[in-house]
A and B are shown apart, each in its own frame.
Chain A
Amino acid sequence: MAKYILKRILYLFLTLFIIATITFFMMKMLPGTPFSNQNRMSAEQLKIVKAQYGLDQSVFVQYIRYIGGLLQGNLGTSFQFNNEPVTALIGQRLAPSMQIGAQAMVVGTIGGILLGALAAIRKNTWVDTLATFISILGLSIPSFVLAVLLQFYLAYKWKIYPVALWDNFQSSILPTLALSALPLGTVARFMRTEMVDVMSSDYIELAKSKGNSSWGVVAKHALRNSLIPVVTIIGPMAVSVMTGSMVVENIFSIPGIGEQFVKSITTNDYPTIMGLTIFYSFLLIIVYLIVDILYGLIDPRIRLGNGGKE
């Protein structure tokens, strides 16, 4: 196991390096610089600014510098926002994004597990149909549409929640709801499939023949066995929550990373885009890694060898 984790961590760095490289050269392929549309600057000024950002060097030198900076945890400097370092920007904006992201993941996962389990236990009844319907809605309605609707009806029309304000926990409820729909739908569907599978397996039959009540069978055997594979979809879910957060933060005016990212895109703030891209990738790779390790730990077949492939 330890060897496996080590290998994965090495992999992580390799992947990050590749992402950084690709990002860097993609950015270099861009036509013009962020200053090229600012006619106010004279040629003289432009030269100074370029030198200031190191843009007068050859691409290769820039690349080496960039990677060197990355190794020291330097993600570059923003063109906008008073030339703040990207790391500082992230620092200021990480908390709100993390809060709604984590809340959405927790709500979505737990809700999805319950919904999926319920559907599987009551398979082919109206409960199943309803649960399936809810999860399909969650999967199909984009979070930004949901966010706008929630904001309009709950906050603006019925005034149950603040419209767009970021201060206390209450203001995080609507964005969390909007973001949790997708994980909820995904987990519910996945959980249902897994659990239906498990419920028709031989060991569940054996558990029944031991004299377990139907509730006992579910609680002692079916739930745990169907939950283990659910862990594997946490990674992809984190991606979808992250995607959603970019627009949802915008809609609810939450000062988070997602909002920053969209803003940087619309203002051609390349260093920030690059920095955030690498940061996002880093986050996701870490999530994937944790999920992988977690999966190995909770499934005895992998933890104790023999059963797994690796």
Chain B
Amino acid sequence: MEQIPQIPKEKFRLIHDENNKDQEKIGTPSLTYMQDVRRRLFKDKVAVVCLALISIIVVISILAPIIAPHNPNAQQVTMSNLPPKLGNLNIPGMNGYQNMGGHMVDAYKQADAPKGTFYILGTDYLGRDLLSRIIYGTRLSLVVAVLATLVDLLIGVPYGIVSGWKGGKTDTFMQRIVEIVSSIPNLIVVILMMIILKPGLTSIVIAIAITGWVTMARLVRAQTFQLKEQEYILAARTLGEPSMKIATKHLIPNLSSTIIIQTMFTIPNAIFFEAFLSFIGIGIPAPNASLGTLLSDGQKAFRFLPYQMWAPAIILSVIMIATNLLGDGLRDAFDPQSSEN
């Protein structure tokens, strides 16, 4: 500060604020909210991997009739309980050999399997191809999950919006119902429903959805309450826009993050319930495969033929882990504050 720098006089011309505009252009490009969410999601490696895994599983399930090597329900008793075998590759655990009384025996030879037959994940006690059963089982479990989630959305979202939007007495009354429904353990309701209804896909979906919507309704209601006070919605109301239009134009888009995130947690929940019900024998009836029935069958033979349970157990766990992690990733992407600082 002591020395005064020598600078030519012409540099000291006043320029006023003629280049104010340039300055403002610099800085982070402004993105729309959804673009921003997507960008954050795709930066999250874990979420991307999970998304990829889920996509693969979904595609395989959709294409099950094309991909599955065998009919999942076709029994071939001579081929029962064959261990996994992958072509003629001699990978331990995947070579068709089985421990019998201390030696490794070629189970395929013993079963007189024609040359060239192999089951990548082995067969079950009725000689059904496990790989095909798992593909179809996953498909069925996913169908249950998607349907249950849809019903969840169809009941929970409107319920929450109406309750939050109307407020006052209507809200109090609707919340009492929610409170009572949620104080009944959902499993019990599900089991009761399953006992009354005929076991099967529809019953499972109904049973799961009948309790599942409550959480969704609660979240949506809380959010609606907040949104209701926002200026643009107040403006729309004073302008006399019809409620239906406000709901679809203003509310639902702003509720989308809450709904999407909650959906990601409903799916594993539904998958779990299906597996649970089928595991205790009141879920998907035989001979159809679901992850739950496969686990249940696998468990019976687990001590001697562990592969029969490992495969469905891994698939089930992978789906659960991936959906949970993706839910986390979505939450962080929608609400960056929750993960930063």
Contacts and interface: CB of A to CB of B under 8 A. Distances in A.
Indicate if A touches B (C-beta under 8 A).
yes
Interface of A: 14-15, 18-19, 22-23, 26, 29-30, 136-137, 139-142, 144-145, 148-149, 152, 156, 193, 200, 239, 242-243, 246-247, 250-251, 262, 265-266, 273, 277, 280-281, 284-285, 288
B333 to A, nearest CB: 16
A148 B302 contact: yes
Contacts of B302: 148, 152
Nearest to B338: A193
Contacts of A141: 313, 317, 320
B100 interface: no
Contacts of A285: 183
With a 10 A CB-CB cut-off, give which of B180, B186, B281, B299 has the most chain A CB atoms.
Answer: B299
A285 B186 CA distance: 13
Interface string B175-210: 000001001111110011101100000000000000
B180 A18 contact: yes
6 contacts: A140-B268, A144-B279, A145-B317, A152-B306, A246-B280, A277-B188
With a 10 A CB-CB cut-off, give which of A18, A137, A277 has the most chain B CB atoms.
Answer: A277
A265 B280 contact: yes
B63 interface: no
Q: Main SS of chain A's interface residues? A: helix
Contacts of B295: 144-145
Contacts of B306: 152
B304 to A, nearest CB: 10
A23 B195 CA distance: 11
Contacts of A139: 320, 324
A168 B243 CA distance: 64
A273 B313 CA distance: 29
A265 B191 contact: yes
Contacts of B180: 14-15, 18
Contacts, number: 96
B276 A142 contact: yes
A23 B184 CA distance: 11
Interface in B215-274: 268, 272
A19 B280 CA distance: 23
A239 B196 contact: no
Contacts of B281: 265-266
Lowest 8 A-B CB distances belong to which pairs? A140-B320, A140-B321, A243-B187, A145-B313, A141-B317, A15-B183, A262-B280, A148-B299
Contact of A239 (B187, B299, B313, B317): B187
Interface string B293-328: 001000100110010010001001100110011000
Nearest to A152: B302
B175 to A, nearest CB: 13
Contact of A15 (B184, B317, B325): B184
Interface of B: 180, 183-188, 191-193, 195-196, 268, 272, 275-276, 279-282, 295, 299, 302-303, 306, 309, 313, 316-317, 320-321, 324-325, 338, 341
A30 B195 contact: yes
Contacts of B279: 144, 247
Nearest to B299: A148
A265 B194 CA distance: 10
Contacts of B192: 22-23, 26, 273, 277
Given A136-B324, A141-B317, A144-B295, A281 B184 contact: yes
A23 B185 CA distance: 13
With a 10 A CB-CB cut-off, give which of B193, B279, B281, B282 has the most chain A CB atoms.
Answer: B279
A243 B276 contact: yes
A142 B281 CA distance: 16
B298 to A, nearest CB: 8
Nearest to B190: A243
A152 B302 CA distance: 8
A44 to B, nearest CB: 29
Nearest to B186: A239
B280 A273 contact: no
Contact of A288 (B183, B186, B303): B183
Nearest to B268: A140
A246 B275 CA distance: 13
Given A14-B180, A246-B187, 12 more contacts: A22-B192, A23-B192, A141-B317, A142-B275, A145-B313, A148-B313, A152-B306, A243-B276, A266-B281, A273-B191, A277-B191, A277-B192
Contacts of A148: 299, 302, 309, 313
A19 B211 CA distance: 14
A277 B272 CA distance: 20
Nearest to A156: B303
A142 B280 contact: no
A149 B186 CA distance: 26
